[in-house]
Amino acid sequence: MPPEGASDPVRNVLVFGETGVGKSSLINLVIGSNAAKTSPDADPCTNRTQPYDVNIQGERFKIWDTAGLDEGKLSGARRAAAAEKKLKQSLRKFLKNNDLSLLIYCVRGSRATRALVRHYQTISSETCNSTVPMVVVVTALENSSGDMESWWQRNAEDLSQHGMNFKDHACITTVGDDSCDTVIVRERRAHSQEIVRDLIFRNRLDNEGSESGQVLPVEGRRTRTIRIRDAMRLQIFVSWIKTRG
Ligand SMILES: Nc1nc2c(ncn2[C@@H]2O[C@H](COP(=O)(O)OP(=O)(O)OP(=O)(O)O)[C@@H](O)[C@H]2O)c(=O)[nH]1
Ligand SMILES: [Mg+2]
């Protein structure tokens, strides 16, 4: 007999963003362990797309860590191109199989908004025909003045003016457990874990039904178009009957 919950659907969540912004740290925060390798070096740490299993509110998720994207330096251009190519390949595969529940764009709070546009556009251009939600997670806010959420109040309009629109957001710290040197940082980290797990849960896409799937297959799209056309015809017919009556 399979273990309990083994046949439950598993929802895939893909985390992407620049090198060193805290993608692997974010995953460790969500799963509650240090399974994903992190590094303080400026050099890229994660080199391949790798899944981490986690259960959130009784549902199963696979959170995929990805290689960091280019941070605008000319050095390492080959590696950056390879990281982008790998990310696109993984994304296309998920979309083709209707198997992606959520995209998380991980950014660092200190980064200028305009620096975030390029990677946003790269991924949006891949997902424009799909209904996979994209959310943004802003990291490194453990010492921000005011509460962490105030980052959003200061920057949301700027993001939108730069053409970046997200279904939802979380302003958090992903600083490692061993680097929480004050009570406030420790509390912010614990709060961040709750916020981000909740973000994933409430924005997950249900990939089972066709209405909630991502890219509708051609047949599905045609059926939906016919349904809309029939409804419009019916409406015109009803209006015509009314004008006669
Ligand atoms: N202060 C601070 N440091 C953080 C935070 N999140 C991560 N870091 C640190 O930033 C460094 C890079 O973190 P990683 O999680 O390895 O970043 P990454 O995006 O996975 O990096 P790559 O795999 O190289 O793309 C590590 O030293 C982390 O401890 C944060 O919220 N605040
Ligand atoms: Mg990493």
Taking only the tens place, the pLDDT of each residue in 33-48 is 999 999 887 778 888 9
For residue 141, the ligand closest to its alpha carbon is 1
Mutate to test the pocket of ligand 1, among 25, 65, 195 (most ligand atoms within 8 A of CB): 25
CA of 31 to the centre of ligand 2 (A): 14
CA of 111 to the centre of ligand 1 (A): 14
| The CATH number of domain 11-203 is 1.20.1250.20 | no
- Which pLDDT score is estimated for 188? 97
pLDDT digit string, tens, across residues 105-129: 999 999 888 889 999 999 999 998 8
- Which of the four pLDDT bands, split at 50, 70 and 90, describes residue 74? low
Ligand 1 site residues, Cβ closer than 6 angstroms: 19-25, 38-40, 44-46, 68, 139-140, 142, 173-176
Choose between 221 and 170: higher pLDDT.
Answer: 170
pLDDT digit string, tens, across residues 3-36: 555 578 999 999 999 999 999 999 999 999 999 9
CA of 7 to the centre of ligand 1 (A): 34
pLDDT higher than 50, residue 228: no
d(CA 20, CA 67): 10
List the residue whose alpha carbon is closest to atom 26 of ligand 1.
Answer: 40
Phi, psi of 39 (to 5 degrees): -150, 140
List the residue whose alpha carbon is closest to atom 12 of ligand 1.
Answer: 20
Choose between 203 and 81: higher pLDDT.
Answer: 203
Buried b (16+ CB within 10 A) or exposed e, 40-78: eeeebbbeebbebebebeebebbbbbbbbbbbeeeebee
CA of 173 to the centre of ligand 1 (A): 10
pLDDT higher than 60, residue 235: no
**199-214 mean pLDDT:** 70
List the residue whose alpha carbon is closest to atom 3 of ligand 1.
Answer: 175
Using the 8-state DSSP alphabet, how is residue 114 labeled? G
